Amino acid sequence: MRSTVPGPEAIGGRLARRPIAPPGRALTWLWRPRGFAERRLAFLALIALPALLYVLLVAVWPIAQGVYYSFFDYNLLRPAARSFAGLDNYRAIWEDETNRRAVLNTLVFTAAAVGLELLFGLALALLLWPDGRFNRVATALMLVPITITPLAVGLLFRALLNADFGLIGYWARVAGISGPHGFLGDPASALGALVLIDAWEWTPLMALILLAGLKTLPQELIEAAEVDGATYLQRLRLVALPMMLPSIFLALVLRGMDAFRVFDIVFATTKGGPNDATTVLMIQAVKQGLEFFDIGAAAAIANLMIVAIAVMALVFTRLIRHADQKVAAG
Amino acid sequence: MRNWTRRRFGATALAAALLAGGPALAAGTQPYAGMTLNLASMNDPFATVLVKLAPEFQAATGITVKVDVLSYPELLTKVTADFIGNTKGYDLVTTDNVWSGQFAEAGHTVVLDDWIKRDSAELQLDDIYPVVMSSLGNYHGKQVAFPFAGYANVLATRKDLYAAAGLEAPATMEAMIADARKLTDKAKNVYGWVANGQKGPAVAQDWMQYNAQLGGSILGPDGKPAINTPANVASLVVYKKLFDETAPPGAVDYDWGGREESFRQGLVANMQTWSVGASAYDNPDQSKVAGKVAIVLAPPGEHAAKNYGVGGWGLGINADIDADHQAAAWEFIKWIASPAVQKKMAELGGGGVIRKSTTHDPDLLKKYPFMTVIDISFTNGNGEYRPRIPQYPQIQDILGSAVNAVLAGGADPQAALDEAQKKAMKLF
């Protein structure tokens, strides 16, 4: 049966006969669109222009400036003494022991926090999978930690974990669970404590993303596996988890990018100490930029972080696409 | 009837206004009336007092002062961005004494010398402690901020614990260390001493204070870093021992808030602190040790010079603003630093002192007996132990990492200060 809806060619033909007004008289001397395709392109470019300008202004331009300044010895307190420094600011990241430790701590923190959140998040999502009033209420309550600003979370845990009069810290020290200086005062436990604080706040988000993934699974497949005699663990391992991979990778990339630029809870609790145990890249970048006003050094650290996050995003995006294709292929 | 009442009320109000401020207006003594000054203030106790007093200044001069209260790092970041961007967001800036160097070198704030000379009689400079004048805003002979809230480093001690142990308040650092050891009873959760241990500015500033009292110095006579001198290493060894033997276990992670809280919670017997917080210890709403605290002179080392740490805040004028705003800002500085307003600030709990007339005022002495301690501290004050140089933020960071590495990371004091010296020299 022939469709009565006109095809794109037909629309194009009609529109071609009624030319679209040029985007602006001033622009016509630069480029006068000819034909439908060019006029269409001009129209689309025109409506996308505000968003494009916005992105250029607030994202691309500052990043470009950041890349530019990272090659300069540029301190805002001595702006006149700006000089080209080549790769010195990048070299300084690797030559400085504290910066090297910050790179390592950032990687360890990101891997540990996101890994833990995935584990707990998946467990929570599986618990909340069956639909019911209790689970709906529990899901809503579970989201409370996400609503608290990370700086407040840091201050809250700083008070709770105080080894001398904190509600948790005092008893943990007395019971010998923490070291003599408390969880945050001991270099061996401080980063671990920060990982747990981060997991407390962000596991619910992970659980929510994974729960959304679980809810979209075709129920008939799970039921078919059940009829075939698959145990709960087998259904989970062989049916649910492979189909959930896109959701898992999405959760990992979102949390991974966020955890990599952790700042608030470190700033509010340990300021990077004790010793260099919790110094992370963002603490170093803020210190260079907003305490010493050394824009060149701060920009170099920030650029390193952008590259790391971009690589992370690229890898996970490909993994998500690959997993999506596998799921679609059945 | 209603219109008549409104007109009558309006006329009465106008007459009252003329009676109150009219003659001054008519005589032209309010040249900046209608002007607004934006003041960036550190969130110390004086900030709320500045907000309370601003309407009085407005009544006297017609100048509105808007006070923006900011945390320490936020204040430095915002005002520096304002100075560099030439955005003229703030007319007046509360200036920590250690910022004078960087502000002066960069020309961020107005040099006040000519105005001070012109208005010296009105300012009653003889009444201002010389150490306060030089520490809070002076850099290489130029006054780039005018002092308005000076703090003395004092020792807060627990009278009850000292009396129970049959001890007197310590007169020397060595005596305080011995007392701290005697008063520490870990089984009862009582500790002899507390200071900041947290990495960064917290531990750096506290150690620099103790270091000065024990005869150490961060800079050498040539003005260059001299961080790994025998005196500094010795003082760091003492500081580490104090932490290990007499401080609450969590103190290695204390900043100012944690340190003060441990004292107010009744955990410790001795704490050196800025005089600004002294009045709060006897407030039962904020402290579990109300009525049990004595504020005494910070004890110097037996062989060190008998001088006392001085810190606090000055007011600087943004060099980018126009001449009229600068002149109006200077009017505010003169007003806030005047003897009468300084007394009022102290009465309202501002906590800062710059004038001898404030520490000798009978009303204030009755309310704050520790004013005599501030008087002696300022008369024999040392505001130079934290160097007011442009490289100060980096040096503070280097020291904050080195001292914390010794306290929490088990680093060797000599090795940590050698490394700090190497890093500091790169800045010069």
DSSP annotation string for B273-303: EEGGGGGGGG-TTT-TTTTSEEEEEPPPPTT
CATH number of A88-329: 1.10.3720.10
Q: For chain A, how many helices (H) and strands (E)?
A: 17, 2
Long-range contacts: A111-116, Cβ < 8 Å, 24+? A112/A191, A112/A192, A112/A195, A113/A195, A113/A198, A113/A199, A113/A202, A113/A255, A113/A259, A113/A262, A114/A252, A114/A255, A114/A256, A114/A259, A116/A195, A116/A196, A116/A199, A116/A203
Residue B260 lies in a domain: yes
CA dihedral (A200, A202, A206, A207) in degrees, to 10, reads 40
In a domain, B375, yes or no: no
- Given a cut of 70, whether residue B12 has pLDDT beyond it is no
pLDDT band at A330 (very low <50, low <70, confident <90, very high): low
Using the Cβ of B74 and the Cβ atoms of chain A, whether some distance falls under 8 Å is answered with no
A190 burial type by CB count under 10 A (0-12 exposed, 13-18 middle, 19+ buried): buried
A163, A181, A292 ranked by CB distance to B408: nearest: A181
State whether A77 and B102 contact (CB < 8 Å): yes
**Whole-number percent of chain B with pLDDT over 90:** 77
Q: Which residue of chain B has the CA closest to A272? A: B199
Instruction: Work out the pLDDT band at B213, boundaries 50, 70, 90.
Output: very high
Q: Which residue has the tokens 């970048």?
A: A285
Model ipTM? 0.79
Non-local CB neighbours of B282 within 8 Å, separated by 6+ positions: B290, B291, B293
Residues of chain B above pLDDT 70, percent: 93
Asked if residue B14 has pLDDT above 80, the reply is no
Q: Are residues B117 and B168 in the same domain?
A: no
Q: Are residues B316 and B305 in the same domain?
A: no
Residue B237 has pLDDT above 60, yes or no: yes
Chain B hits for A186, CB-CB cut-off 8 Å, are 408
Q: Is residue B25 scored above 90 in pLDDT? A: no
Answer whether B393 sits within 8 Å of A274, measured CB to CB. Answer: no
Number of independent structural domains in chain B: 2
- Across chain A, mean pLDDT equals 87
Token look-up 């606090």 returns: B312
Q: Which of B189, B253, B289, B426 to mutate to test the interface with A (most CBs of A within 10 A)?
A: B253
The one-letter code for the residue type at A80 is: A
Per-residue pLDDT of A75-121, as tens digits, reads 887 778 889 999 999 999 999 889 999 999 999 999 999 999 999 99
Q: Residue B306's pLDDT is what?
A: 85
CB within 8 Å of A42: residues ≥ 6 apart: A20, A22, A23, A31, A33
Query: What stretches of B126-254 show up as alpha helix (H) in DSSP?
Result: 130-135, 159-164, 173-183, 201-213, 230-246
Q: What is the DSSP letter of A217?
A: S
Going by pLDDT thresholds of 50, 70 and 90, the confidence category of residue B22 is very low
A233 and A300 in contact (C-beta within 8 Å)?
Answer: no
Neighboring chain B residues of A163 at a CB cutoff of 8 Å: 248-250, 253
* Portion 275-304 of A in contact with B at CB < 8 A: 275-277, 287, 290-293
Confidence grade of residue B106 (pLDDT, cut at 50, 70, 90): confident
Has residue B255 been placed in a domain?
yes
- What is the Cα–Cα distance from A75 to A293, expressed in whole angstroms? 6
Q: Which of B191-224 are b and which e, b meaning 16 or more Cβ less than 10 Å from the residue's Cβ? A: bbbbbbbbbbbbbbbbbbbbbbbbbbbbbeeeee
Residues listed for chain B: 428
Same domain, B57 and B119: yes
| Interface contact B251, partner A, CB < 8 A | yes
Does this model's pTM top 0.90? My answer is no
Neighbour tally for A219: CB within 10 Å: 8
Among partner residues B394, B408, B411, which is closest to A185 by beta-carbon distance?
A: B408
Q: At residue B13, does pLDDT exceed 50?
A: no
The enclosing domain of B30 has a CATH number of: 3.40.190.10
Contacts of A174 (CB under 8 A, 6+ apart): none
How many beta carbons lie within 10 A of that of residue B273, not counting itself?
24
- Per-domain residue ranges for chain A? 33-65, 88-329
| Cβ <8 Å between B255 and A271 | yes
Whether residue B63 is found in the same domain as residue B98: yes
The answer on B122 and B73 residing in a single domain is yes
Together in a domain, B131 and B205 = no
pLDDT above 90 covers a percentage of chain A that reads: 60
Q: Specify the DSSP class assigned to residue B99.
A: G
What's the pLDDT at A132? 86
Q: Which residue has the tokens 């005599």?
A: B372
Contact B199/A185, CB-based, under 8 Å? no
Helix (H, G, I), strand (E, B) or coil at B200: coil
Q: Are residues B297 and B195 in the same domain?
A: yes
Rg (CA), chain A: 27
Please state whether B288 falls in left (phi above 0), alpha (psi between -120 and 50) or beta. alpha
To 10 degrees, what angle do helices B230-246 and B392-409 make?
Answer: 50
User: How deeply is A134 buried, as exposed, middle or buried, from its count of CB atoms within 10 A (0-12, 13-18, 19+)?
Assistant: exposed
Among B68, B354, B356, B328, which residue's Cα sits nearest to residue B345? B354
User: What integer pLDDT is reported at residue A212 of this predicted model?
Assistant: 92
User: Contacts of residue A181 in chain B, CB cutoff 8 Å?
Assistant: 249-250, 252-253, 408
| Residue B9 pLDDT > 50 | no
Q: Burial of B362 by CB count in 10 Å (0-12 exposed, 13-18 middle, 19+ buried)?
A: exposed
Q: Domain span at residue B94?
A: 13-148+312-369
Q: Which of B288, B295, B291, B345 is nearest to B315 (CA)?
A: B345
Burial string for A32-59 (b: 16+ CB within 10 Å, else e) reads: ebeebeebeebeeeeeeeeeeeeeeeee
Of A73-82, B59-68, B205-214, which range is least confident? A73-82
Please indicate, yes or no, if residue B6 is contained in any of the structural domains. Answer: no
Tokens of B212: 């000065």
Q: Which pLDDT score is estimated for B196?
A: 95
Q: Does the beta carbon of B59 lie under 8 angstroms from any beta carbon of chain A?
A: no
Count H helices, E strands: chain B?
19, 10
CA distances from B252 to B203, B255, B258, B400, B419 (A): 9, 9, 10, 12, 21
3 state DSSP class of B382:
strand
- Specify if B7 maps to a domain: no
Residues B54 and B191 in one domain: no
Rg (CA), chain B: 24
Distance (Å, whole) CA A241 – CA B165: 67
Is B262 at the interface with chain A, CB within 8 A?
yes
Asked if B130 and B193 sit in the same domain, the reply is no
Query: Looking at the structure, do residues B404 and B351 belong to the same domain, yes or no?
Result: no
Read off the pLDDT band of A291 (50, 70, 90): confident
Shared domain for B132 and B240, answered yes or no, is no
pLDDT reported for residue B407: 95
Which residues of chain A does B394 touch, with a Cβ-Cβ cutoff of 8 Å? 292
Query: In A, which residues are within 8 Å of B249 by CB distance?
Result: 163-164, 173, 180-182, 185
Residues of A with Cβ-Cβ distance to B405 under 8 angstroms: 275-276
Task: For residues B360 and B349, give the distance between their C-alpha atoms in angstroms, rounded to a whole number.
Answer: 17
Q: Is there a single domain that holds both residue B325 and residue B394?
A: no
